[in-house]
């Protein structure tokens, strides 16, 4: 069925891929059954890095498929970044998943930069012999490339270094989202329980609603999720209303305080005018008194 003896499914890498919606699953399955698997699956050694859904459906129906290696992927971190870019470029990926992927890419790039800075700090100050071969970049998590030590053609050039995502705006641009959306997705990613995240991934809860629910304690989030999508939406509405209410009350109190201040000023002005009039009357009376 395949031109490779084994294909390894890396669970950590598979997590970068959103499950297909039912209609997408049906369309892909029908296409594979009618036309076969026209696009090759991409491997890193034996690890599958692109084509998880096609591999699953081809295996289910006994449909032949081809595989190709991507020799430019040198480390597990290279694989992660490459897979993220592949997913970010697909229109079928949800807004939430694109935001999560872009945030994960930022974390990977920050970790890579920190590792390189640490390596530079620990490097000897002596000048390296120009004739000595450059050391290969260490692999992430201690994993060597699957073909390390094998003979054959010269190794392919590594992938170019991605641009850093050093601001929320840069993350938003990479995900094709607004900065406000990225901020909400970041809150969900950091604070939401698995049940709430699952609801967003399934499309039963909006990003805005999930960000509101994510501000609640984990127990309340889990209880709302267990009650169903409608309860989650109601909880999100109550949270948003509760946040808006204090602002409205503050505005009302400020208006009342402003009204009190204006009335007080008017009363003060009236009192001063009366006092001024009384002083004028007294001065006029003194002027009319004959000298002794």
The dihedral through the CA atoms of 77, 80, 85, 88 has a sign that is negative
For residue 22 the two structure tokens come to 């039912």
Output DSSP code: residue 17.
Answer: S
pLDDT at 70: 92
- Helix 229-288 to helix 194-202 angle, to the nearest 10 degrees? 100
pLDDT at site 14: 87
Compute the distance between CA of residue 135 and CA of residue 146 in angstroms, rounded to an integer: 18
**Could you give the CA distance from residue 102 to residue 172 in angstroms, rounded to a whole number?**
8
Please tell me the predicted confidence (pLDDT) of residue 91: 83
With beta carbons less than 8 A apart as the criterion, state whether 67 and 130 touch.
Answer: no
CA distance 67 to 51: 10
> What was the pLDDT predicted at 244?
81
Residues sharing a CB contact under 8 Å with residue 9, sequence separation 6 or more, in sequence order: 48, 52, 55
pLDDT of residue 291: 47
For the chain, 292 residues long, the average pLDDT of each consecutive 10-residue run is 70 85 92 95 94 95 95 92 92 90 93 88 58 39 47 62 87 94 94 94 92 94 91 92 69 54 70 74 63 44
How far, in Å, CA of 240 to CA of 206, rounded?
Answer: 13
Helix (H) or strand (E) holding 260: helix 229-288
Give pLDDT, residue 136.
36
Q: Among residues 85, 87, 84, 43, which one has the least CA distance to residue 66?
A: 43
Comparing CA positions, the residue from 74, 43, 70, 83 lying closest to residue 143 is 74
Which residue(s) pair with 68 in the sheet? 42
Helix (H, G, I), strand (E, B) or coil at 65: strand
Phi, psi of 157 (to 5 degrees): -65, 140
Cβ neighbourhood burial of 141 (10 Å; 0-12, 13-18, 19+):
exposed
* Run of H or E residues at 51: none
Identify the pLDDT of residue 9: 93
């Amino acid at each position: 069925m395949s031109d490779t003896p084994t294909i390894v499914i890396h669970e950590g890498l598979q997590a970068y891929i959103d499950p297909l919606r039912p209609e997408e699953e049906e369309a892909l399955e029908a296409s594979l059954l009618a036309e076969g698997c026209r696009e090759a699956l991409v491997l890193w050694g034996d690890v599958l890095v692109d084509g998880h859904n096609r591999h699953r459906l081809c295996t289910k129906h006994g449909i032949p498929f081809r595989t190709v290696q991507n020799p430019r992927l040198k480390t597990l971190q290279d694989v992660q970044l490459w897979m993220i870019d592949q997913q970010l470029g697909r229109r079928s990926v949800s807004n939430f998943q694109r935001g999560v992927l872009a945030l994960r890419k930022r974390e990977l790039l920050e970790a890579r930069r920190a590792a390189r800075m640490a390596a530079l700090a620990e490097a000897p100050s002596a000048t390296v012999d120009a004739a000595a071969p450059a050391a290969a970049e260490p692999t992430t998590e201690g994993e060597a490339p699957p073909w390390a030590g094998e003979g054959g053609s010269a190794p392919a050039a590594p992938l170019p270094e991605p641009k850093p995502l050093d601001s929320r705006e840069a993350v938003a641009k990479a995900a094709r989202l607004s900065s406000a959306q990225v901020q909400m997705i970041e809150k969900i990613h950091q604070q939401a329980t698995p049940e709430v995240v699952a609801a967003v991934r399934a499309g039963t809860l909006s990003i805005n609603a999930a960000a509101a629910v994510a501000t609640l304690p984990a127990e309340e989030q889990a209880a709302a999720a267990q009650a169903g999508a409608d309860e989650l939406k109601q909880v999100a509405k109550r949270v948003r209303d509760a946040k808006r209410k204090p602002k409205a009350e503050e505005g009302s109190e400020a208006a009342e305080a402003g009204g009190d201040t204006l009335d007080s000023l008017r009363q003060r002005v009236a009192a001063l005018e009366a006092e001024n009039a009384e002083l004028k009357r007294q001065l006029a009376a003194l002027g009319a008194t004959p000298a002794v």
